[in-house]
Amino acid sequence: MVETDLTNPFKPGAGHMPPYLAGRESEKHEFAKLIAQSTILENLVLTGLRGVGKTVLLDVFKPIAQTSGWYWVGTDLTEAATLSEKNIATRLLTDLSVLTSSIVIGKKQSLSIGFLSQQNTETHYLNFQTLIGIYEQTPGLPGDKLKYVLELIWDILKEGSNFKGIVFAYDEAQNLADQTDKDEFPLSLLLDTFQSIQKKNIPFMLALTGLPTLFPKLVESRTFAERMFRVMFLDRLDEESVKEAIKKPLESYQDLHLSDSSIDQIVSLSGGYPYFVQFICREVYDVFIQKIDSGLDPKVPISEIVQKLDIDFFSGRWARATDRQRELLAVIAELVTVEDDEFSVQDVVGKSKEALEKPFSSSHVNQMLSTLADSGLVYKNRHGKYSFAVPLLGGFIRRQQILGAAE
């Protein structure tokens, strides 16, 4: 008999560390090479579809960096933080101040900082108020101000310290964008700043995580970004890694055993995406515990899990699409029957002529794909091809078409 109070080990929440991280050894090895640089020539872009474990892997990289002598600062990049050059500078200084706030500035350095020399207190800390004060009093454009503050911080930190540098790690970095219509260029400022200070051999490294739209945005903003970053594209896990992710967390649960056929069903249903592995395994675990306690033969409830996944993961995204957008997505789902397949505007136009009474024109497809990309349903790679930005979305759309036809 299985005890019913056993805690379910699987964690399908966004960014939650799984009970066992499978199949990411090569990425950890690549990151170890990045932080071994004596001069920062390459920064990190960690990219992939939602559900592949980007946030989790970034969290794994943090202790690797720290044990190698690096400081680590950063957070999620919200849209508000990227609206303006001042906002992105404030974001960087806010995160940096968490690291520096306990550091006392020497008297000589205090005298060189105008607004500090005018204060009556003898002790000055490198907290946020100090950092933003230095930023505000420095002449020039926002980029000039930010570079000055970062260079000053390095001059202070390197004294009597043997640390290697600072990693500035930002998740959801696809939110970064220059606002040409508002004459605000926060993305360009970020790239220019780090390129400049790294050329001065200051070991401050960028680690940006985001959807596949991220790297093309970086290169579009500054062509040198292509040489400034090492791109890690997180793909689906291979079959053996998925099996490890399923079996390892259950090794301590002696009374609970998944048959090879059950594991194979989970592997197939998950498509190799870590989020879906956690989601499906969590459901399977709960069902197996209940059925074994009841003396029933436990089996993977495929149809029930698919229905729950459709409601919990896909339906919210689907609901935000207009009727005409859904028609376009349905055409794409018929066109892209293999996960990760790419498609072009011409492919969609041709398929729509076969499938619809009112097919789409090229200009209409271009316009709608741009809108769908902004909403995170598709993305365009640097070769002009598109893919679904949500894993297993095609299968969900095809199921909706079948349901609609049956009504």
Q: Which residues pair with 8 in a beta bridge?
A: none
> pLDDT (tens digit, 9 = 90+) per residue, 86-107?
999 999 999 999 999 888 776 5
**Six token digits for residue 3:** 């005890």
Residues 259 and 393 in one domain: no
Do 295 and 259 fall within a single domain? yes
Assign 351 a pLDDT band (cuts: 50, 70, 90): very high
**Domain CATH number, residue 373:** 1.10.10.10
- 58 against 107, higher pLDDT: 58
146 and 38 within one domain? yes
- Intra-chain end-to-end CA distance of the chain, in Å: 44
Picking from 103, 96, 90, the residue whose alpha carbon sits closest to that of residue 71 is 96
| Residues 386, 326 share a domain | yes
Residue 101 included in any domain: yes
If you search the block for the tokens 């376009």, which residue do you land on? 328
The average pLDDT across 129-152 equals: 93
Q: Please, which pLDDT band fits residue 299 given cuts at 50, 70 and 90?
A: confident
Indicate the residue among 177, 210, 233 that finishes a domain. Answer: 233
Mean pLDDT on 153-163:
82
> Residue 72 falls within a domain, yes or no?
yes
pLDDT exceeds 60 at position 108: no
Q: Is position 87 within any domain?
A: yes
Predicted pLDDT at 294: 60
* Same domain, residue pair 253 and 224: no
Residue 405 confidence class, pLDDT cut points 50, 70, 90: low
For residue 402, the model assigns a pLDDT of 81
Q: Specify the range with the lowest mean pLDDT, choosing from 142-151, 221-230, 249-258, 289-298.
A: 289-298
Domain boundary among 205, 233, 261: 233
My answer on whether 296 and 400 are in the same domain is no
Residue 111 has pLDDT above 70, yes or no: no
Here the tokens at position 317 are: 């995204």
* 43-47 vs 229-233, strand pairing mode: parallel
Note the pLDDT tens digit of each residue in 45-57.
Answer: 999 998 899 999 9
Nearest to 342 by CA among 395, 392, 378, 370: 378
More confident residue, 369 or 103: 369
In terms of Cα–Cα distance, which of 74, 385, 384, 47 is closest to 231?
A: 47
SS3 call for 47: strand
Domain total for the chain? 3
267 and 351 assigned to the same domain: no
- Written as one string, the DSSP assignment of 86-108 is HHHHHHHHHHHHHHHTTPEEPHH
Does a structural domain hold residue 29?
yes
Residue, of 207 and 11, whose pLDDT is higher = 207
Phi, psi angles (nearest 5°) of residue 223: -60, -25
Task: Output the domain CATH number for residue 54.
Answer: 3.40.50.300
The pLDDT assigned to 13 comes to 81
Q: Which residues pair with 229 in a beta bridge?
A: 43
In a domain, 311, yes or no: no
Q: Are 280 and 271 in contact (CB under 8 A)?
A: no
Check: CB of residue 159 under 8 Å from CB of residue 100. no
Helices (H), 122-169: 128-137, 142-157
Radius of gyration of the chain (CA): 25
Enumerate residues 6+ apart whose C-beta is below 8 A from 319: none
Residue 241 has a pLDDT of 96
pLDDT score recorded for residue 300? 77
Mean pLDDT of the chain: 88
pLDDT digits (tens, 9 = 90+) for 165-224: 999 999 999 989 898 889 999 999 999 999 999 999 999 999 999 998 899 899 999 999
In a domain, 313, yes or no: no
135-164 mean pLDDT: 89
Residues 258 and 153 in one domain: no
Beta-carbon contacts of 23 under 8 Å, excluding residues fewer than 6 positions away, are 237, 238, 240, 241, 242, 244, 245
Q: Are residues 364 and 340 in the same domain?
A: yes
Same-domain pairing of 221 and 73: yes
Domain range for 285 is: 239-300
Least confident of 22-26, 58-62, 83-87, 119-123: 119-123
Same domain (yes/no): 324, 344: yes
Residues 51 and 200 in one domain: yes
pTM: 0.87
- Spatial distance between the Cα atoms of 394 and 391, rounded to a whole number of angstroms: 8
Q: For the residues 383-400, what does the mean pLDDT come to?
A: 89
Is 8 within a domain? no
Residue 208 forms part of a structural domain: yes
